[in-house]
Structure 1
Amino acid sequence: MPSQIPIDAFSSRLGIDLDAIRANYRAIAQRIAPARCGAVVKANAYGLGVAMVGPALCREGCRTFFVAQLCEGEPLARVVGGDSEIFILNGIDPGSEALCVERGFLPVLNSTTQVERWRTLARATDRPLPAALQVDSGMSRLGLPPAAAIDLASDPAFAREVDLRLLMTHLACADEPARPANAEQLARFRAVHAHFPGVPASVANSGGTFLGAEFHGDLARPGVALFGVDPGPLAEGLRPTVRLDARVLQIRTIEAGTGVGYGLEHVAATRQRLATVAIGYADGWPRCLGGIGAAWHGGTRLPIVGRVSMDSTTIDISALSEEALHEGDFVELIGPSQSLDQVARDAGTIAYELLTQLGARHARIYLENGATQVRAPGDHR
Structure 2
Amino acid sequence: MQNMLSLVSPDDVLLEINLGAIQANFRTISALVGPHVRVAAVIKSDAYGLGLVEIARALIDAGCDLFFVANLNEALLLRSSHVVAAVAVFCDQFARYGRCYRSNDLTPVVNNCAELDAISAEGETQTYFLNVETGFSRLGLAFVDVRRRYLSGTFESYPPSVVLSHLACGECVADVTNVLQRNRFQAIYNLLKPIRGSLAASSGVWLGKSYHFDMVRVGSALYGLNDAGIQPNPLQPVARLRAKILDVRNVPRREAVGYGATFRTVRASRVAIAAIGYRHGLPWSSANKISVRIAGHSAPLIGKISMEYITIDVTDVPEAHCGPGAFVELLGGDFTVGDLAAAAGVIPQEVLTRLGAACTRQYLNSPSPSAVSVSRPFNAGARSR
TM-score greater than 0.5 by the shorter chain? yes
Alpha-carbon distance in structure 1 between the residues aligned to 2:297 and 2:145? 58
**Letter in structure 1 aligned against 2:37:** A
Question: Number of aligned pairs?
Answer: 366
2:197 corresponds to: 201
2:248 corresponds to: 251
Q: Is residue 58 of structure 2 the alignment partner of residue 61 of structure 1? A: no
Residue of 180, 183, 188 corresponding to 1:187: 183
Instruction: Map 1:1-381 onto structure 2 (within 5 A).
Output: 10-33=11-34, 34-79=36-81, 81-82=83-84, 84-92=85-93, 95-120=96-121, 122=122, 126-160=123-157, 162-234=158-230, 236-368=233-365, 371-378=370-377
Q: Per-residue displacement from partner, 1:320-350 (whole Å, max 9, x unpaired)?
A: 1223311100010000041111101011011
**Letter in structure 2 aligned against 1:201:** G
How does the TM-score come out when normalised to structure 1? 0.91
Alpha-carbon distance in structure 1 between the residues aligned to 2:72 and 2:10? 34
Aligned 8 A contact 2:281 2:358 in 1: no
Kindly state the Cα deviation for residue 167 of structure 1 after the two structures are TM-superposed.
0.3
CA gap 1:42/1:292 in 2 versus in 1, 3 angstroms: same
Kindly state the Cα deviation for residue 258 of structure 1 after the two structures are TM-superposed.
1.7
Point out the more displaced range, 333-342 or 359-368.
359-368
CA gap 1:293/1:166 in 2 versus in 1, 3 angstroms: same
Aligned 8 A contact 1:55 1:79 in 2: no
2:3 corresponds to: none
Q: Per-residue displacement from partner, 1:213-262 (whole Å, max 9, x unpaired)?
A: 01111111010100111020336411111101100000011112322222
CA gap 1:292/1:234 in 2 versus in 1, 3 angstroms: closer
CA gap 1:360/1:50 in 2 versus in 1, 3 angstroms: closer
Alpha-carbon distance in structure 2 between the residues aligned to 1:301 and 1:76? 41
Question: What secondary structure is seen at the aligned counterpart in 2 of 1:204?
Answer: coil
Kindly state the Cα deviation for residue 208 of structure 1 after the two structures are TM-superposed.
1.1
Ranges in structure 2 where 5+ consecutive residues have no aligned partner: 1-8, 379-385
Ranges in structure 1 where 5+ consecutive residues have no aligned partner: 1-7
How does the TM-score come out when normalised to structure 2? 0.90
Point out the more displaced range, 8-17 or 252-261.
8-17
Alpha-carbon distance in structure 2 between the residues aligned to 1:192 and 1:172? 18
Alpha-carbon distance in structure 1 between the residues aligned to 2:23 and 2:325? 33
Report the aligned-residue RMSD.
1.9
Question: What secondary structure is seen at the aligned counterpart in 2 of 1:31?
Answer: helix
Kindly state the Cα deviation for residue 361 of structure 1 after the two structures are TM-superposed.
4.6
Kindly state the Cα deviation for residue 94 of structure 1 after the two structures are TM-superposed.
5.7
Kindly state the Cα deviation for residue 158 of structure 1 after the two structures are TM-superposed.
4.1
Question: What secondary structure is seen at the aligned counterpart in 1 of 2:161?
Answer: strand
Q: Per-residue displacement from partner, 1:118-166 (whole Å, max 9, x unpaired)?
A: 323x1xxx31221111111101111111121122222224432x34110
Aligned 8 A contact 2:72 2:89 in 1: yes
CA gap 1:348/1:9 in 2 versus in 1, 3 angstroms: closer
Divergent runs of 4+, >6 A: none
Alpha-carbon distance in structure 2 between the residues aligned to 1:13 and 1:226? 20
Alpha-carbon distance in structure 2 between the residues aligned to 1:233 and 1:288? 23
Taking only the aligned residue pairs, the percentage that are identical comes to 30
CA gap 1:9/1:132 in 2 versus in 1, 3 angstroms: closer
Point out the more displaced range, 54-63 or 261-270.
261-270
Point out the more displaced range, 110-119 or 23-32.
110-119
